[in-house]
Amino acid sequence: MSIAERDTLIKKWLSEIKDYIIDQKDSNLDVEQKTADNDLVTRMDKSIEEQLVNKIREAFPGEKIVGEEGFGDEVNSLDGTVWFIDPIDGTLNFVMQQENFAVMIGVYVDGIGQLGYIYDITHDKLYSSTKGDGVRCNGQPIAKPADLSLSKGLIASSSALMCKDKYPAVRTVGAESLGVRMLGSAGLESIEVAKGNVSAYIASNLKPWDIAPGLLFMEELGMIGTQFNSKPIDLLNNNNIVFATKNAHKDIIDILGE
Amino acid sequence: MSIAERDTLIKKWLSEIKDYIIDQKDSNLDVEQKTADNDLVTRMDKSIEEQLVNKIREAFPGEKIVGEEGFGDEVNSLDGTVWFIDPIDGTLNFVMQQENFAVMIGVYVDGIGQLGYIYDITHDKLYSSTKGDGVRCNGQPIAKPADLSLSKGLIASSSALMCKDKYPAVRTVGAESLGVRMLGSAGLESIEVAKGNVSAYIASNLKPWDIAPGLLFMEELGMIGTQFNSKPIDLLNNNNIVFATKNAHKDIIDILGE
């Protein structure tokens, strides 16, 4: 199957998932805590991942799947085709707000991003990329953002980085920017960088499925995604990440490295 | 003119302002993409305030106007009818993102909120209140949010409070909540509290026009708006404010007062 055909098929799946979420979102979500009060999983997260995993296994038998909720595979290498699935990114928002969450899919081949999808369900905006074709919103190409330096743009970050003291340098980064925005969804914040609404997104301890599609978006738009120490992101492990314009990335790494 | 007639007239004005912003924003987009010109936006803020002030003076001669851009009056007392105008709340977002900003109007009589409007222009969502009638979104009543405690809900705050050290207790509040969200617009964050998307909004040094309509929303929804020290908000001066559910407000004041 060609990349274009895969893209068409994945978009069909995502459209089905959207209808399912809209239909089910006012029903009982069976909210459970995973590791903390603010680390939640719902019946919907599990069901959506299971549906996607079943579709992938039927259409692409033998390809590897890295999923948040455990329906995928044990993946120890990025060789071959690897799917990254986040059925609901921003589950806390999903539970508390019934909006501001995203469904995310990334497809990598031998560690290289090929296809990426971040679907803002309640606003019905699907951001997608096939390698070499840039980033599109509902099929329309989005412009490459201006290469703003840190001091000339807004940034996005996470509540944990702002309120807790593990990486205080991130607050310094925030203070040197025009201002910090926080949406509570790595997917939606990756979109904000891709659109140029913010010049950077800084977050700690993100999982591979939080990162995979956004990292492809960065590459497609001439922006940069690395770890805090500027090393390449490792999609087999958790990462502290910076997605940013080239100029802001340099400024941010300088501060984080101090 | 009755309150209902005022409400109808103000909504007509806001609809005209929306059309003006959408029209001007698109026609000037090329210029902004080249230079991110602050002058243009300053001209927009001023133009919108001037239009609103002229409409108010024509329809309601003698009533007092407190406006961000200086077209209003010197107001030293809340006696009589006082209008609070914020032509573009979230100007930085307007410049950098062309979204996530609001037009705000509040009308108070002898210091008591009578009419409040927060218009999220790009999403075309007008949140409004006439005293005693609750809060509506595009005319439809919104539900009173659950009275969540601090630890059971998300909160909204500001970049300055998170990144700078003037009120470090606000970060403690954030860490005790489920998480912090930041949109960069007092108006949009007031809406988030009104909708129950967050249980509190905490911000420092807000101007009367940033506060006036949201404070009425809090009163209409059985929530609370005060200063950090729990004193009533003073609409003749800048305020450090907490908008919150009753339970979260108590928890927050306990922490801020420590």
CB contact under 8 A, B181 and A162: no
Token pair 């579709």 in the structure block, residue: A55
pTM (predicted TM-score): 0.95
From the CA of A12, how many Å to the nearest CA of chain B? 26
CATH class of the domain at A3-141: alpha beta
Q: Which residues contact A212 (CB under 8 A, 6 or more apart)?
A: A84, A104, A106, A108, A113, A116, A235
Q: In whole angstroms, give the CA distance from residue A80 to residue B19.
A: 52
Q: What is the pLDDT of residues A40-59, one digit of tens each?
A: 788 899 999 999 999 999 99
For residue A119 the two structure tokens come to 């679907």
Q: Which of residues 128-167 of A touch B (CB under 8 A)?
A: 143, 146, 152-154, 159, 162-164
Residue A156: closest CA among chain B residues belongs to which residue?
A: B182
CA distance readout (Å), B207 to B12, B69, B204 = 25, 12, 9
pLDDT at residue A1, as a whole number: 86
pLDDT(B33) > 60? no
Give the list of residues 6+ apart from residue A35 with CB closer than 8 angstroms, or none: none
CA-nearest residue to B153 within chain A is A96
Nearest to A159 among B36, B93, B174 (CB): B174
CB pairs under 8 A between A and B: 76
B97/A159 CB distance under 8 A: no
pLDDT value for A41: 80
Residues in chain A within 8 Å Cβ distance of B183: 181
Cβ atoms of A258 and A252 closer than 8 Å: no
How close, in Å, is residue A116 to chain B by CA atoms? 23
| Chain segment B240-250, per-residue pLDDT in tens | 999 999 999 99
Q: Does A178 touch chain B (CB under 8 A)?
A: yes
Contact B197 A154 (CB under 8 A): no
Comparing CB atoms, the residue among A143, A162, A181 nearest residue B184 is: A181
Return the residue of B nearest to A171 by Cα: B163
Work out the percent of chain B whose per-residue pLDDT is above 90.
Answer: 84
> What is the CATH code for A150-256?
3.40.190.80
> Where in chain A are the domains?
3-141, 150-256
